[in-house]
Amino acid sequence: MADGPLLVFGPRSLDYDFGAAHPLTPRRFGPGVELLRWVGAVPTLAPEPAEDRELLGVHTPEYVEVVRRFSADPDGQVGLAGIDHLGDDPPFAGMHQAAAAVVGGSLRAVEAILDGEVEHAYHPGGGLHHAMPGRASGFCVYNDVAVAIARARADGARVLYVDLDVHHGDGVQVIHQADPQVLTLSFHETGRTLFPGTGFVGEVGEGAAAGTSINVPLEPLTGPEAWLAAIEAIVPPVAAAFGPDLVVSQHGADSHAWDPLAHLLVTTSAMGTAARLVDRIAHRHAGGAWLATGGGGYDVYRVVPRAWAFTWLAGAHREVPHHLPEQWRLRWDDEARRHGQAPLPEYFDDLPGTAGVSAGRESAAARDAGTVGLVRLIAVPTLLRVAQERGWWAPVSLVARRNGLPEETPAWSAIAGGDSGTAEPEILDPLTAEQLDRLAIAPWTVAPADPGEAWALLRNALADQRTGAVGAVAGGRLVGLAMAAPLERSPLGGEELPPATDWLLALGVAPGARGRGLGGGLLRALVRGPDRRGRQLVALLTVAERDPASPLTADARRSAGRRLLAGAGFRELPVPGELGLADRHALLAVHVGQGVPGQRVEALRAVLAEG
């Protein structure tokens, strides 16, 4: 493997040029690539135009033809398909070849990753995430990241896309929103105040892909702490549940406090921390397979070069230098002053106070925390949320012995080869930690996606005496699970729950054991246990409760969930407040055990109704 991420840059990178007055300027490559070279990066992949057949994987033939016409005659065409002299995407001579070369750079980079030539690749000129199938948008003519993802999907890879640009990654979301094997995660300034006016929490996807579009709209004046807190709260558990084969990311520098086109107050230090988190995600879940792209960024001299260096260094697993090189600062200082972006900073990290201190930041952080809580409720499986809160599991950093498998079991490759689907499952009621010590877990029984990590989580959960579980076992593997534990506060709104209130943490059956009524049997056994007397059990099913490997449509999931819950004696309740608006497929239901006083039943319903 190369000493650091493969760096995509070449002469054609400078051709993507909307003109001297346009915010997205190729001037950024001068200081940006020079600083990358100084930290040790060497461009080794020069972009060349992608072929039409590759572009047509995500773009319409009519649109590609429109771009070709503008490319050949920029001044002889009437504005069409988002390309207009007065718009964000003005035509220029050679537009098609220049935009296709951006695609070609990301495409060849992802192919190098898929072929095992490199682990990581970085394309700072890529990340044109706004382009739609049939139109240009937001400085983006062709969508290079969407094409790269489509190429990976052609090889059968499951792809996690993380977008850290200040603008919503709308084009990538739209292009892949029907594919349940592509999960898009976008952290951006809210569409209420910034282009493209989309990316709200309720955009979760449809059909079998419901739950694979995740959006975290942040308030203007969001600072680095709140921005990082959002990323760290959502990306690791979502990645663990999804189990990607490849991570693709977009690291737009326009979320920085000095960027002239937006209103977030992020720092280069926070950007570097986020990039290192994405790197850790790629290594933990995707064998290191990671394509990073640059995206937006309009403070060309003070911010973009440092953001690019931080991203490349994250993939190179190297420390960030303290001082910017004096020679680099002298080289670019005059040009930066001519463009009103001076003085150049002395350090890679922003100085304290760069993001400013104001009541507006505190207010934004409070609203962001509410948004993040709602997104976690919708996008993170209940088992993972509660496991994090209880200390049963830590995403990314979890190191379990032998990948979480008990010492007396054979290697995972041998366990995975077993055929539990032909054996009649045995019900273990209750399932104990000691019993789990003699078992492996069949893939996709419950989250996380990695069976070893799932085993370690469940082992810790079952060691907690408050947890109750019923399991189904076949061929030495756990193939079904129903699990519950008491909660003191409602995940819906934080209100205190009545005494003796439990929450359904997991109900899962491995793919090979489905179609036998096992899920319903496990749930019925869980609610009829002798320890259920005098207790209530709440079940909340959101779009997060999905099988990434063999997903059903959202409507089918909802129907199956409703049937299972009703069959076990649950009563459905309205999904309250923002959750009901954001996830129209969500289900909320309560099982009331024998001997529960009526006033406690009403108290629980009142708490749940408040949301």
Tell me the backbone φ, ψ of residue 441, rounded to 5 degrees.
-115, 130
Six token digits for residue 419: 């055929």
Tens digit of pLDDT for each residue in 491-539?
A: 999 999 999 999 999 999 999 999 999 999 999 999 998 888 999 999 9
**Which of 118, 156, 159, 128 is closest to 55 using CA atoms?**
128
Rounded to an integer, the average pLDDT of 16-45 is: 98
Q: Is 486 in the same domain as 572?
A: yes
Which residues are 507's β-sheet partners?
482
Q: Say which residues have a Cβ less than 8 Å from residue 466's Cβ, sequence separation at least 6.
A: 485, 486
- Indicate whether 363 and 390 sit together in one domain: no
Contacts of 373 (CB under 8 A, 6+ apart): none
pLDDT tens digits for range 56-78:
999 999 999 999 999 999 998 88
Q: For 561-577, what is each residue's pLDDT tens digit?
A: 999 999 999 999 999 99
The whole-number pLDDT of residue 342 equals: 95
Q: How many CB atoms lie within 10 A of CB 398?
A: 19
Residues 6+ apart with CB under 8 A from 573: 588, 589, 590, 605, 608, 609
pLDDT band with cut points at 50, 70 and 90 for residue 420 = low
Q: How confident is the model at residue 421 (pLDDT cuts 50, 70, 90)?
A: low
What mean pLDDT do residues 153-180 have? 98
- Report if residue 92 sits inside a domain: no
Beta strands in 54-134 (DSSP E): 120-123
pLDDT at 422: 63
* CA separation for the pair 77, 608 (Å, rounded): 58
Average pLDDT, integer, range 290-313: 98
**pLDDT attached to residue 397:** 43
Asked if residue 176 and residue 278 are part of one domain, the reply reads: yes
Residues 74, 79, 82, 85, CA torsion sign: positive
Decide: 215 and 203 in contact? Cβ < 8 Å. Answer: yes
Q: Is residue 400 domain-resident?
A: yes
| Residue 67 resides in a domain | no
Residues 405 and 324 in one domain: no
Give the domain CATH number at 469: 3.40.630.30
Structure tokens that stand for 532 in this block: 């259920």
Task: Say whether pLDDT at 402 is over 90.
Answer: no
Q: Is the per-residue pLDDT at 398 higher than 50?
A: no
- pLDDT 10s digits, 89-115: 999 999 999 999 999 999 999 999 999
Q: Flag whether 132 is in a domain.
A: yes
Tokens matching residue 498: 């009545």
> What single DSSP character describes residue 181?
T
Question: What pLDDT score was predicted for residue 64?
Answer: 98
Instruction: Give catalytic status of residue 167 as yes or no.
Output: no
Same-domain status, 360 and 482:
no
Number of domains the chain contains: 2
> Are 239 and 337 in the same domain?
yes
Closest CA to 527 of 560, 502, 562, 508: 502
DSSP per residue over 478-515, as a string? EEEEEEEEE-SB-TTT-PBPPSSEEEEEEEEE-GGG-S
Q: How many Cβ atoms sit within 10 Å of the Cβ of residue 340? A: 9
**Of 342, 376, 410, which marks where a domain is finished?**
376
Q: What is the pLDDT at residue 399?
A: 33
248 and 372 belong to one structural domain = yes
Q: Is residue 473 part of a domain?
A: yes
CB atoms within 10 A of CB 57: 18
The most distant pair of C-alpha atoms in the chain lies apart, rounded to whole Å, by 80
- Comparing CA positions, the residue from 28, 1, 23 lying closest to residue 13 is 28
Half-sphere exposure of 111 (CA within 13 A, CB side): 12
pLDDT bracket for residue 18 (50, 70, 90)? very high
**Spatial distance between the Cα atoms of 460 and 463, rounded to a whole number of angstroms:** 5
Instruction: Identify whether 337 is part of a domain.
Output: yes
Distance CA 577, CA 368 (A): 17
Q: What would you report as the CA-atom Rg of the chain, rounded to the nearest whole angstrom? A: 25
pLDDT digits (tens, 9 = 90+) for 339-363: 999 999 999 999 998 887 677 899 9
**What pTM does this model have?**
0.95
Based on the domain organization, do 284 and 411 belong to the same domain? no
Residue 422: what are its φ and ψ, rounded to 5°? -90, -15
- 407 and 362, same domain (yes or no): no
For residues 357 and 386, state if they share a domain.
no
SS3 587: strand
Q: In whole angstroms, what is the distance from residue 539 CA to residue 69 CA?
A: 56
Give the sign of the dihedral formed by CA 110, CA 113, CA 118, CA 119: positive
The residues facing 587 across adjacent strands are 541
Residue 372: φ, ψ to 5°: -60, -40
Catalytic choice (120, 130, 188, 251)? 130
Question: Are 122 and 171 found together in one domain?
Answer: yes
Give the Cα separation of 487 and 368 in Å (integer): 24
- Count of C-beta atoms within a 10 Å radius of residue 487: 18
CB atoms inside a 10 Å sphere around CB 193 = 12
User: Is 81 part of a structural domain of the chain?
Assistant: no
The pLDDT of residue 194: 98
CA 576 to chain CA mean position, Å: 25
pLDDT average, residue stretch 295-301: 98
- What does the pLDDT look like over 243-253, one tens digit per residue? 999 999 999 99
Domain membership of residue 423 as a residue range: 382-610
Question: Is there a domain that residue 256 lies in?
Answer: yes
Q: In this model, does residue 407 exceed pLDDT 50? A: no
Amino acid present at 303: V
Instruction: Give 320 or 611, the one with higher predicted confidence.
Output: 320
User: Which CATH number do you get for residue 262?
Assistant: 3.40.800.20
Domain final residue, candidates 354, 376, 398: 376
- Mean model confidence pLDDT for the chain: 94
Rounded Cα gap, residues 116 and 124, in angstroms: 21
Query: Could you say which of 376, 408, 432 is where a domain stops?
Result: 376
Residues 6+ apart with CB under 8 A from 288: 119, 120, 282
Indicate whether 415 pLDDT > 70: no
**Same-domain pairing of 29 and 117:** yes
What are the structure tokens assigned to 12, written together?
């054609």
